């Protein structure tokens, strides 16, 4: 029996990570109102971890509902600076402002992933990494932005650890794949248990 595997995300990084791991899958971004769900979760007393896990599960569930029998991977990542949640910058100016805001501070990235088939949540996981940016100069910031180009607009932090943005960091603690937006090792372990066919 062939089981279809679907990634419910438009993230190029997540797609690349799954491809590099040798998985065969299709991509169907989930159409959900992320900000509305985030607001409801925060109002209910949730934090960045709760929001990331909720969004990962909701994305997977939305795509699974339209693809009976398929196993759907939902993923999300949030950035917490204290109690504040930051989002993807809309343009280069916003990215520069966000990097300035994070400069010299420690923030946390929460990466969540969920597996859903039909209306059943098969598995979910969330991992948190802690990152500290150094006191970089405006010139260093602008150099990184020039080197990164529009790629940083796809990142919740306005940076890419796998790119020139690494120059802006002082310390990084946590799972590398989770920092990129997908707890890949945990996901592969889960797939080997709930759907080993997807790994062959």
User: How far lies 97's CA from each of 94, 120, 130, 160, 184, in Å?
Assistant: 5, 41, 20, 16, 30
Specify whether 125 is catalytic: no
Cβ(152)–Cβ(145) under 8 Å? yes
Whole-number Å distance between alpha carbons of 5 and 8? 10
Residue with tokens 């943005």: 165
> Which residues 6+ apart lie within 8 Å of 74 measured at CB?
8, 9, 30, 55, 56, 57, 58, 59, 60, 61, 63, 113, 114, 115, 116
Rounded Cα distance between 172 and 131, Å, is 5
Which one is catalytic: 76, 100, 125, 143?
Answer: 76
Active site (catalytic) residues: 76
């Amino acid at each position: 029996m062939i089981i279809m595997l679907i990634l419910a995300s438009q993230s190029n990084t997540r797609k690349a990570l799954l491809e590099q791991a040798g998985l065969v899958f299709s991509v169907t971004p989930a159409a959900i109102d992320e900000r509305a769900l985030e607001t409801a979760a925060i109002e209910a007393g949730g934090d960045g971890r709760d929001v990331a896990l909720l969004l990962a599960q909701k994305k997977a569930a939305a795509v699974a509902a339209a693809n009976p029998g398929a196993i759907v991977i939902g993923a999300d990542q949030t950035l917490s600076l204290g109690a504040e949640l930051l989002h993807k910058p809309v343009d280069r100016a916003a990215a520069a402002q966000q990097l300035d805001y994070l400069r010299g501070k420690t923030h946390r990235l929460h990466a969540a992933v969920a597996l859903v088939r039909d209306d059943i949540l098969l598995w979910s996981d969330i991992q948190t990494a802690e990152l500290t940016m150094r006191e970089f100069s405006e010139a260093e910031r602008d150099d990184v932005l020039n080197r990164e180009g529009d790629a940083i607009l796809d990142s919740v932090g306005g940076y890419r650890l796998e790119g020139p943005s690494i120059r802006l960091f002082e310390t990084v603690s946590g799972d590398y794949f989770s920092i990129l937006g997908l707890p890949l090792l945990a996901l592969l372990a889960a797939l080997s248990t709930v759907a080993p066919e997807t790994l062959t």
